[in-house]
């Protein structure tokens, strides 16, 4: 689990993280400014990532874990929740183009 969190932190610290942060800042600042080419490219990249995630919402691994969850007790249910979140994080990383 530490490896995945470190990977996500490194992605956010990389150029992709900077472009996402700048895009969010430009969108939140508003002020009638026209977005530059970099922010438009970032918006396009985020749109394609969102489309990929929307198309992959029925992951068989996630479906299996969620179907087993009602039969588990306490700590195992929390473990399943964590695993489902990690699968989602991996899908986001794959959608961003990282392998």
**Which tens digit of pLDDT belongs to each residue from 56-84?**
567 899 899 999 999 999 899 999 999 98
Residue spans of the domains in the chain: they are 11-28+35-55, 58-99
35: three-class secondary structure by DSSP? coil
Question: What pLDDT, on the 0 to 100 scale, is given for residue 2?
Answer: 55
Rounded CA gap, 44 and 40, in Å?
A: 6
Per the CB < 8 A criterion, the answer to whether 43 and 35 are in contact is: yes
The answer to whether residue 85 scores a pLDDT higher than 80 is yes
Least confident of 35-39, 58-62, 83-87: 35-39
For residues 13 and 1, the model is more confident at: 13
Mean pLDDT of all residues belonging to the chain? 74
Per the CB < 8 A criterion, the answer to whether 11 and 93 are in contact is: yes
The answer to whether residue 18 scores a pLDDT higher than 70 is no
b/e code 50-73 from CB counts within 10 Å (16+ = b): eeeeeeeeeeeebeebeeeeeeee
Determine the average pLDDT of the residues in 3-27.
Answer: 60
């Amino acid at each position: 689990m530490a490896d995945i969190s470190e990977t996500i932190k490194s992605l956010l610290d990389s150029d992709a993280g900077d472009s996402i942060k700048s895009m969010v800042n430009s969108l939140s600042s508003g002020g009638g400014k026209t977005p530059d080419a970099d922010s438009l490219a970032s918006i396009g990249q985020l749109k394609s990532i969102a489309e990929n995630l929307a198309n992959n919402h029925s992951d068989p691994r996630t479906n299996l874990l969620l179907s087993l969850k009602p039969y588990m007790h306490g700590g195992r249910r929390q473990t399943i929740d964590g695993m489902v979140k990690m699968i989602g994080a991996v899908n986001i990383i794959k959608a961003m183009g990282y392998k």
